[in-house]
Chain A
Amino acid sequence: QKEVEQNSGPLSVPEGAIASLNCTYSDRGSQSFFWYRQYSGKSPELIMSIYSNGDKEDGRFTAQLNKASQYVSLLIRDSQPSDSATYLCAVHQIIQGAQKLVFGQGTRLTINP
């Protein structure tokens, strides 16, 4: 099974600071990468998708992709207490001919007021 790895945390960041979440993946052929936010007891919510090397910005969120290093990250600027959640990195992989999303274990983020 191809793997996606994240630091499980918890990651604690003061309000207003930048939260940096990291993810590495093992399948060099992966082309599509996604970040989901999941609040406790709720379902995952897609917040960013990225397909090309470089940065992609959406409001306070920036996704960064480096395919050579097999690394994808999510930056959250001006962190708010409402950003406290588990963040799941998901990588699209083709495993035994089947296309599927492979999730990392998730990083639990806490923003401290």
Chain B
Amino acid sequence: DTEVTQTPKHLVMGMTNKKSLKCEQHMGHRAMYWYKQKAKKPPELMFVYSYEKLSINESVPSRFSPECPNSSLLNLHLHALQPEDSALYLCASSRSGGRVDEQFFGPGTRLTVL
């Protein structure tokens, strides 16, 4: 299995809602990532988990809360989002987070905040 899967594919939520994005990989990778991508822009790193521990938080607002329940799963909990948070949210994984690691992306969740 060489896939990173993400659910849901699309999500529409109001500013007062709480929702979660899910990511799963079964490649034995020990580093997992959340990126945010706006239209016509490159992916922007949000969080990195390495061996199930949060290693990088790119000063992301607290309305985004990551969670890594085990080495295969990564969640992103969303609460009180703003319309400007509407974007494609990408999960990626890599073997260990080292310098030669190749990162593989999931298909993404298209989030719209009303």
Contact = CB atoms under 8 A, between A and B. Distances in A.
A44 B102 contact: no
B86 interface: no
A101 interface: yes
Interface stretch (B11-19, B39-47, B70-78): B39-47
A105 B56 contact: no
A34 interface: yes
A7 interface: no
Interface in A1-45: 31-32, 34, 36, 42-45
B62 interface: no
B21 interface: no
Interface in A78-107: 88, 90, 92, 94, 98-101, 103-106
B82 interface: no
Nearest to B42: A103
Contact of A46 (B55, B98, B104): B104
A49 B102 contact: yes
Contacts of B108: 42-43
A49 B56 CA distance: 23
Contacts of A45: 105
A106 B102 CA distance: 18
A105 B42 contact: yes
B53 to A, nearest CB: 13
Interface of B: 41-43, 45, 48, 55-56, 88, 90, 97-108
